[in-house]
Amino acid sequence: MRNPRSLKESDILGVTWGSTVYHMINYLNPSQKVNAKFVTLHGSIACCENELDVRTLVSRMAKAFFGENYYLLTDALMSSKEASRIMKEEKNNQRVFKMFDHVTISVSGIGSFYPTEESVLASPEFMPTEDLEKLKQENVSGDIALRFFDHDGQECNTTLKERMISISIEQFKKIDRKISLVSGVSKANAVLSALKGGLVDVLILDSNLAEALLKLSEDMPSQE
């Protein structure tokens, strides 16, 4: 059985944006040199600080392991389906999208929309109010790799699906080892939803969130 901590040269590691991922990278030990590939799983977020931007994070992670880095040269959210299609067909972006089918490991955070909207993606700087309202109508619980999911971990059915420059949720689910780094008790509902939807294989969280998650799962009605 493969060591879950190992990284091989044949691996393609997908990275998402986020403060928790940023802090994790600060603790990486640069002594393990592995010429693996590191790729962004989505475009940049306009309202995001540069140090938390996914292109910055994937570059730093690749540098820590002396690997190669690849990133999308575009914002994440397009104004229309057609604009999204055009950006995906740009030569560099097309190359990155082809890599999504071969990602073997992902490192991501999880954003929370329920019971309160704490994800940065809920801010008007990222999405118009009407888009947020449509997500609420679809019972949005959280987001992962810029894909919005409901309380059962299924993708919310809005036009955001077609306008987002990001790995699809179907491709994301096929990744062999999906690692999520999450902190804060307010994210318990979103984490539980992500687990239900098969969006997480390895969960790294703080003790307070772990206790909140256990309580939440215990309070769920029995399926028997």
Residue 200: band (very low, low, confident or very high) from pLDDT cuts 50, 70, 90? very high
pLDDT in tens, 161-198: 999 999 999 999 999 999 999 999 999 999 999 999 99
pLDDT of 30 above 70: no
Residue 153 lies in a domain: no
pLDDT of 26 above 90: no
Determine if residue 195 is left, alpha or beta; phi over 0 gives left, psi from -120 to 50 gives alpha, anything else beta. Answer: alpha
Q: What would the two tokens of residue 214 be?
A: 């256990």
What's residue 156's pLDDT?
98
Domain count, the chain: 1
Sequence-separated (6 or more) residues with CB below 8 Å from residue 16: 40, 41, 42, 54, 106, 107, 108, 109, 144, 145, 146
* Segments forming the whole domain that contains residue 87: 12-109+161-218
Q: What would the two tokens of residue 64 be?
A: 């820590």
Residue 191 lies in a domain: yes
Residue 77 lies in a domain: yes
Distance CA 43, CA 74 (A): 5
Q: Please indicate whether residue 224 or residue 143 has the higher confidence score (pLDDT).
A: 143
Instruction: Report yes or no: 105 and 58 within 8 Å, Cβ to Cβ.
Output: no
pLDDT in tens, 91-110: 999 999 999 999 999 999 99
Residue 187 lies in a domain: yes
Q: Tell me the mean pLDDT in the region 60-76.
A: 94
Q: Tell me the mean pLDDT in the region 37-57.
A: 92
Residue 4: band (very low, low, confident or very high) from pLDDT cuts 50, 70, 90? very low
Residue 149 lies in a domain: no
CATH number at residue 96: 3.40.50.1360
What's residue 5's pLDDT?
57
The proportion of the chain whose per-residue pLDDT surpasses 90, expressed as a percent, equals 82
